Amino acid sequence: MNNLLNMNDPDYLLTTIFGESNQQAFVAISPGRVNLIGGHTDYNEGFVLPAAIGQYVNVAARPRTDKTVAAYSEEYDEIREFSLEDADPDAKGSWIDYVEGVCTQLAQDHALRGAEFVVRSDLPSGAGLSSSAALELAVAAAVDRMNDLECSNRTLARHCWRAENEFVGVNCGIMDQYAVALSAENSALFLDCRDEAVEHIPFPAETVNAVVINTTVTHELVESAYNERRAQCERGVALFDRCLDREVTSLRDISIDDFEAYQERLPAPVRERCEHVVYENRRVQRAVDALREGEIETVGDLMYDSHASLRDLYEVSCEELDVAVDVARTQDDVLGARMTGAGFGGSVIGLVRAQNSGDAVNAIRREFRSRTDVDPQVAVYSLVKGVQAN
Ligand code: GLA
């Protein structure tokens, strides 16, 4: 495991916070993710191509003899507790929701021991890098080890996705939890969000790096706009279901030809939302083919197209994300860039030639700052393996 260094003495860490215990301590390390392409397709049963990056949420964990779960977050410097026997079904609007959601979700299928957790993270929250999915999977993997559940990472991802939807109350698709759970080193994860099939697509890590431009900006609308987009896509599904003489259950059922044949019957902005999703699915497939053929420039071009579509048709971008993509595009060594995550702030993911990535990072930072007055966090990452626990 590569990022255990800062958690290399979980016993010490847990004892500092919770006192002595004779229980065995475990560590789970859980990466953030970027999405190379496939924006807002997951909840439309479409295709996505995320990858895990080397920034992590780590959890040190040890069991307790009672049914209490106590967790300490270094970031918030607070201890929160709940009981596995007498769980409060309501989310609190706090980081503990992710811990409680996952524990209560797993407790529905398994008898769990209480636990103590220390959460340490270098993955910023609100940056569109899935810090919540990373925390969920870290907790799930630690609970799995402490209780010898022997669940697969796929099963843990499912539990975490349910925790996020049913307990935390965020109506997200499956991409984030699957990316954090199932990614492989130096690969992107080609995920079919309909049948949940995954394929690891090798990424040319020696020559190309992933660059993340975290704008550090988050706008208010994220959640309401996300739910509104979902509803507009459902409206599109209902309209296509009426036009076509076959059953349409999601936008995945709509081909480009279907869209072109019937698009005039769709009202704005449902038409634009559907156009984005239908063509974005095609772009993901083309990006996968291009990666397989070693045509990384094509992947980059598709990323720019994806961003334009998210900006103009799906309308989930914002000024800072657009500036970040524009700034990236001015760099000769950047091959492509797009917003990653839900939108309205957060991060842009780009592909940059490895040999000149340092210069590109500095230039992007400088240029973004001069155009926005915001100091972005710009860094290059390798693509790493999904969650692990020892
Ligand atoms: C968020 C959600 C994901 C996905 C993306 C948009 O990250 O959690 O499920 O819908 O937005 O692609």
Atom number, ligand 1, closest to the C-alpha of residue 341: 7
- pTM for the full model? 0.96
Mark whether 158 and 229 lie in a shared domain. Answer: no
> Could you say which DSSP state residue 228 is in?
H
Mark whether 171 and 227 lie in a shared domain. Answer: no
Mark whether 195 and 235 lie in a shared domain. Answer: no
244 pLDDT higher than 50: yes
Length of the chain, in residues: 390
Q: What is the pLDDT of residues 268-321, one digit of tens each?
A: 999 999 999 999 999 999 999 999 999 999 999 999 999 999 999 999 999 999
Q: Is residue 3 part of a domain?
A: no
CA of 147 to the centre of ligand 1 (A): 30
Average pLDDT, the chain: 96
35 pLDDT higher than 50: yes
Q: How far is CA 389 from the centre of its chain?
A: 19
**Pairing of β 115-121 and β 68-73:** parallel
C-beta of 341 in contact with ligand 1 (< 6 A): yes
100 pLDDT higher than 70: yes
1 pLDDT higher than 50: no
CA angle 33, 36, 42 (to 5 degrees): 80
Q: Is residue 2 part of a domain?
A: no
Q: What is the pLDDT of residues 325-365, one digit of tens each?
A: 999 999 999 999 999 999 999 999 999 999 999 999 999 99
Least Cα distance to 124 among 388, 341, 384, 371 occurs for 341
Number of domains in the chain: 2
Q: For residue 194, which amino acid is it?
A: R
**78 CB-near residues (< 8 Å, 6+ apart):** 72
Mark whether 237 and 369 lie in a shared domain. Answer: yes
- pLDDT band with cut points at 50, 70 and 90 for residue 68: very high
Residue-number span of the structural domain to which 63 is assigned: 10-203
Kindly state the average pLDDT of the residues 234-263. Answer: 97
Mark whether 59 and 158 lie in a shared domain. Answer: yes
Mark whether 186 and 248 lie in a shared domain. Answer: no
Q: For residue 24, which amino acid is it?
A: Q
Burial 328-339 (b: 16+ CB within 10 A, else e): bbebebbbbbbb
Q: Is residue 363 part of a domain?
A: yes
Give the domain-ending residue among 171, 188, 203.
Answer: 203
CATH code for the domain in which residue 159 is found: 3.30.230.10
Percent residues over pLDDT 90 in the chain: 94
CATH code for the domain in which residue 346 is found: 3.30.70.890
Q: What is the pLDDT of residues 191-242, one digit of tens each?
A: 999 999 999 999 999 999 999 999 999 887 788 999 999 999 999 999 999 9
User: To test ligand 1's pocket by mutation, which of 176, 340, 347 has the most ligand atoms within 8 angstroms of CB?
Assistant: 176
Between CA 357 and CA 346 the distance in angstroms is: 21
CA of 20 to the centre of ligand 1 (A): 40
CA of 338 to the centre of ligand 1 (A): 14
* pLDDT given at position 6: 58
**Catalytic residue (one of 42, 97, 176, 333):** 176
Whether 176 is catalytic is yes
Mark whether 118 and 232 lie in a shared domain. Answer: no
C-beta of 40 in contact with ligand 1 (< 6 A): yes
Cβ-count burial of 86 within 10 angstroms (0-12 exposed, 13-18 middle, 19+ buried)? exposed
Atom number, ligand 1, closest to the C-alpha of residue 130: 7
Q: For residue 326, which amino acid is it?
A: D
Mark whether 288 and 233 lie in a shared domain. Answer: yes
- pLDDT band with cut points at 50, 70 and 90 for residue 5: very low
Kindly state the average pLDDT of the residues 92-118. Answer: 97
C-beta of 316 in contact with ligand 1 (< 6 A): no
Give the domain-ending residue among 203, 219, 247.
Answer: 203
CA of 27 to the centre of ligand 1 (A): 27
Cα torsion 69, 70, 74, 78: sign:
positive
Mark whether 258 and 359 lie in a shared domain. Answer: yes
Atom number, ligand 1, closest to the C-alpha of residue 316: 6
Burial 156-187 (b: 16+ CB within 10 A, else e): bbbbbbbbbeebbebebbbbbbbbbbbbbbbb
Between CA 283 and CA 291 the distance in angstroms is: 12
C-beta of 144 in contact with ligand 1 (< 6 A): no
Between CA 205 and CA 209 the distance in angstroms is: 6
